[in-house]
A and B are shown apart, each in its own frame.
Chain A
Amino acid sequence: MERRLFYQYCLLLIAVSLVLAGCGGNNKAASTNEATNAPTEAANSGTSAEGEIKVGILHSQSGTMAISEVSVIDAELMAIEEINAAGGVLGKKIVPVLEDGASDWPTFAEKARKLISEDKVATVFGGWTSASRKAMKPVFEELNGLLWYPVQYEGLEASPNIFYTGATTNQQIVPSVSWLLENRGKKFYLLGSDYVFPRTANLIIKEQLKAEGGDLVGEEYTPLGHTDYSTIISKIKEAKPDVVYNTLNGDSNVAFFKQLKDAGITAQDMTTLSVSVAEEEIRGIGVDVLEGHLAAWNYYQTTDTPANKTFVENYKKKYGDDRVTADPIEAGYTAVYLWAAAVEKAGSTDVAKVKEAAKELEWDAPGGKVKIDGETQHIYKTVRIGEVQADGQFKELWNSGEAVMPDPYLKGYDWAASIQPTE
Chain B
Amino acid sequence: MDVYLLQLFNGLSISSILLLVALGLAITFGLMKIINMAHGELIMIGAYSTYLTQNLFKDYLPESLFNWYFVLAIPVSFGIAFIFGLILEMSLIRFLYGRPLDSLLATWGVGLVLQQLARTIFGAPNVAVKSPAWLDGGLRIMNGTLLPYKRLFIIALVIACLVAMYFYIYRSHEGRRMRAVMQNRDMAACLGVSTRRVDAMTFAIGSGIAGIAGCALTLMGPIGPSLGTYYIVDAFMVVVLGGVGKLVGTVLGATGIGMFNTLFEYWTNASLGKVLVFVCIVAFLQWKPMGLVAMRSRSLD
Contact = CB atoms under 8 A, between A and B. Distances in A.
Interface of A: 61-64, 66-71, 194, 220-223, 225-228, 230-232, 234-235, 237-238, 250-251, 254-255, 258-259, 261-264, 280-281, 283-288
Contact of A223 (B222, B225, B270): B270
Contacts of A227: 220-222, 230-231
Interface string B43-85: 0000000000000000000000000000000000000000000
B70 to A, nearest CB: 14
Interface size grouping (class) on chain B: 35 or more
Interface majority SS (helix, strand, loop, mixed), chain A: helix
17 contacts: A66-B124, A69-B124, A221-B270, A221-B271, A228-B17, A228-B220, A234-B6, A250-B222, A254-B221, A255-B222, A258-B219, A258-B220, A262-B151, A263-B138, A264-B138, A285-B222, A286-B128
B266 A231 contact: yes
Given A255-B221, A263-B146, A264-B137, A232 B125 contact: no
Interface in B110-142: 115-116, 119, 123-131, 136-138
Given A227-B221, A255-B221, A285 B128 contact: yes
B21 to A, nearest CB: 10
Contacts of A235: 266
Contacts of B127: 283-284
Contacts of A225: 226, 229-230
A264 B146 contact: yes
Nearest to A253: B222
Contacts of A280: 125
A284 B226 contact: no
Contact of A283 (B125, B138, B220): B125
Give the residue among B17, B115, B119 with the most A Cβ atoms within 10 A. Answer: B119
B222 A254 contact: yes
Contacts of A232: 265, 270
Contacts of A228: 14, 17, 220-221
A222 B271 contact: yes
A199 to B, nearest CB: 11
Contacts of A194: 270-271
B169 to A, nearest CB: 29
B91 to A, nearest CB: 24
A70 B124 contact: yes
Nearest to B269: A220
Contact of A251 (B137, B221, B266): B221
B150 A284 contact: no
A193 B223 CA distance: 18
B221 A234 contact: no
A161 to B, nearest CB: 28
Interface string B227-247: 101110000000000000000
Nearest to B227: A251
Q: Which 3 A-B residue pairs are closest in the complex by CB-CB distance?
A: A284-B126, A254-B222, A262-B148
Nearest to B217: A227
Nearest to B137: A264
B13 interface: yes
Nearest to A284: B126
Contacts of B249: none
Contacts of A237: 3
Nearest to A231: B265
Given A221-B270, A231-B266, A70 B125 contact: yes
Give the residue among B17, B131, B270 with the most A Cβ atoms within 10 A. Answer: B270
A358 to B, nearest CB: 31
A64 B225 CA distance: 8
A66 B225 contact: yes
B129 A259 contact: no
B262 A231 contact: yes
B157 to A, nearest CB: 15
